[in-house]
Amino acid sequence: MKRFTIKWTLPVLLTGILVLAVYVCAAQDSNSVQTQSTPAQCSEIAKESPAVPPTSPPTNAEPENITYEKSVVMLQVVQQRWDYKTPWKQDQMGRGVGTGFIIDGKRILTNAHNVSNIKYLEVKKQNIAQRYPAKVVQVGHDCDLAIVDVEDPSFYDDMLPLQFGDIPAVNSAVTTCGFPVGGMQVSITKGVVSRIEVGNYSHTQADMHLLVQTDAAINPGNSGGPVMQNGKVVGVAFQGLKAAENIGYMIPTTIIRHFLSDVEDGTYDGFPSTAVAVFEGLHNPAYKAYLQLPENAEGIVILFVQQNSTAQDIFKPGDVFTKIGDFNIDNDGMIKIHDLSLDWSEALEQKQVGESIDITFYRDGKSQKAQLKAALNLPALPWTLQFDKQPEYYVYAGLTFTPLSRNYLQTFGRNWVTDMPFMLRYLFYNSLQITTDPNIKEYVVLSEILPHEINAYCTGFLSQAVEQINGVRIYSLKDVVTELQKDPPGGFHQIQFMGDDVPMILDAAQCRAKQKDILAKYEVPTEAFIKE
C-alpha cells in the first residue's frame, strides 16, 4: 500500500532521509562488482522504532534436525535493468542467487526482487547437480512476492509443499531456511519474533505493509526462503536492516494469502492504496472542539485527498476518519486487528482491488457513513520503483523525453535525494498535493540530450519537466509526441519547462530533416516507444 501522511515540512523530511537506516533485500550477489544489476541492489530508507522487549522465554521452537530440503530450492537468476536516461538501452547483466519453496499446486513461492527484470532463471534442488529452467508465472512487486514454475513437471515428483500458518506471536521462536552466501546447502537459523508492525518494503522503496521482525539471521541469498514455526510457514524472508545487526524481516502470511488469492484469476491486481494524507490532531482538545466532535470521539483528520482517487468522492480536508470496517480508529491512527495494534491501513489491505469497505467519518460535527472502494489509485508521479517493463520515451531532434519516475530520479546517483534538480525534488515530494488538474496522467522530463548542432544550445534544459509545447498544456508523453509532430506557428517549436521562464526554441524544419541521422548516429532503434 502506498500510504502517506503529512507530519514534516520538506526541509525536515530531506534531513531525516539522509540519517535514517537503510533496509536491504536479502538476495545473494554472485559477483560483487555487479551489485547494481543483482537482486541485492534494492534498498529503502525506513525509520526504525524501539524494539519490543522480550517478556518470556521463546516458545514454539521448531523440532530438531529438520532441514526442509524436499521443500526449499535455490534460484539462480540473470537480471538486466533498463537505463531510464536513455530508455532504449539496458544496463549490464548481473547474476544472483535467491531462495524459494514449494507450495500447493506445484508452484514455487519466492520474492519478487529475486526475479525482477529477469532474463533467465534456473531452479536447483539441494544435493542434485541438475539445474531446471523455470519461468515467472505471477509477480507482485508491491508486496515483494512472486510465483515461479519449473518447466519440467518431473521436478515436483519428490518435492513436498509447505503449508501456511498464522502470524507468529511476539517472542515466539522461528526458523529461517534458505541459501545464504557462503554455501550450496540449505542453511537453518533460529531466532525469535521481536516486533510486528506496518513498515517499508524495500523492493519498490515506497510500499508499506505488515511485516514481522526477527533476530534470526537473514543474509544475502535468504530472500524468498520460508520462515517456519511448528512445521508451517509463518513468513517469507525478504530484507534486513543494513545499519544494525541481527534485525531481519519477513512477509507475514496475511500478505501472502492476499497475494495468492489475488492471482487465482491469472492476473495480479495489487494491494489497494489509501489515497489520503492524515494528521493525528485529536490529541489536542482544542482542535477536537474546533472540529465540533463529541468528547469521546477518536480518529484522524484528513488533510488532503489524492486527485482521481476513489476517496475523492467521499472525503474532504477537515473530515475526521473514525472507523473502517469493524475497526475503530484511535487518535494515533491505529486499530485493533490480528490481536495487534496496527495502522488503520491494515483494514483496507484485507480487501482485494474492486471490493468495498464501510467507513465512518465526521464532517461539520455530524457523523456520516460511506463505502470506500479499494483501488490502486496510482498517482501522476509514482513513488515506487518500476520493474519488468521497458520505460516509454520519445526522441525528437536528439531530445529524449520520458515520464518522470523514481527510476529516473535515482539515475542521479547514490545521493539522488539531494543531487537531483530542485524542481524535480519539489515535484517528487509534493506532486500529490499540487496535482489538482484531473487531466494530468504523468509528468514528462527531458531525460537526455543526444548532442547535435540543432540542439547545441539546449543543455540548460536537461532534467527539467515539460509544462507546455507551443502553448498547449502537456498531460502525458503522448501529448509531447502529438505537439512536436505538428507544424508549429511560424515554423518554430516553443517548449516551456516548469519553473523556468525561458523557453526552448527549435527550428521544426531542421529537426525533421536531421531526425533520421540523429537516430542512426546514436543507434536509437525507434524514435518512440509508447504503450497503447
At residue 184, the pLDDT reads 82
DSSP structure string for 448-473 = EE---GGGTT-GGGTT-BEEEETTEE
Side-chain half-sphere exposure of 94, counting CA atoms within 13 A: 26
List every span in the chain annotated with CATH 2.40.10.120: 1-56+68-264
Q: How far apart are CA 217 and CA 177, in angstroms?
A: 10
pLDDT along the chain (532 residues), means of 10: 42 38 49 34 36 44 67 96 97 94 97 97 93 97 98 93 96 93 85 95 95 88 94 95 83 98 97 95 95 95 95 96 98 96 96 98 96 96 95 98 98 96 95 92 98 95 97 98 96 96 96 97 97 84
In DSSP terms, 494 is beta-bridged to 505
List every span in the chain annotated with CATH 2.30.42.10: 276-373
3-state secondary structure 242-297: CCCCCCEEEEEHHHHHHHHHHHHHCCCCCCCCCCEEEECCCCCHHHHHHCCCCCCC
Unique residue bearing C-alpha cell 537480471: 79
Residue 171 in grid coordinates = 517472542
Close Cβ partners of 513 (under 8 Å, ≥ 6 residues apart): none
In DSSP terms, 396 is beta-bridged to 399
Contact 75, 87 (CB under 8 A): no
First to last CA, the chain: 26
Class of the domain covering 1-56+68-264: mainly beta
At residue 220, the pLDDT reads 82
At residue 245, the pLDDT reads 77
Q: How far apart are CA 384 and CA 42, in angstroms?
A: 12
Residue 347 in grid coordinates = 483494514
Q: How far apart are CA 391 and CA 412, in angstroms?
A: 17
Positive or negative torsion for Cα 323, 326, 331, 332: negative
φ, ψ of residue 253 to 5 degrees: the values are -70, -20
Q: How far apart are CA 475 and CA 470, in angstroms?
A: 14
Give the type of residue at 298: E
List every span in the chain annotated with CATH 3.20.190.20: 393-529
What is the CATH architecture of 276-373?
A: Roll (2.30)
Q: How far apart are CA 115 and CA 75, in angstroms?
A: 9
Close Cβ partners of 125 (under 8 Å, ≥ 6 residues apart): 69, 73, 74, 155, 159
At residue 242, the pLDDT reads 76
Positive or negative torsion for Cα 103, 106, 111, 114: positive
At residue 53, the pLDDT reads 40
Closest by CA to 382, choosing from 403, 363, 354, is 403
- How buried is 398 (Cβ within 10 angstroms: 0-12 exposed, 13-18 middle, 19+ buried)? buried
What is the CATH architecture of 393-529?
A: Alpha-Beta Barrel (3.20)
In DSSP terms, 21 is beta-bridged to 46
In DSSP terms, 22 is beta-bridged to 45
Contact 51, 195 (CB under 8 A): yes
Helix (H) or strand (E) holding 468: strand 466-469
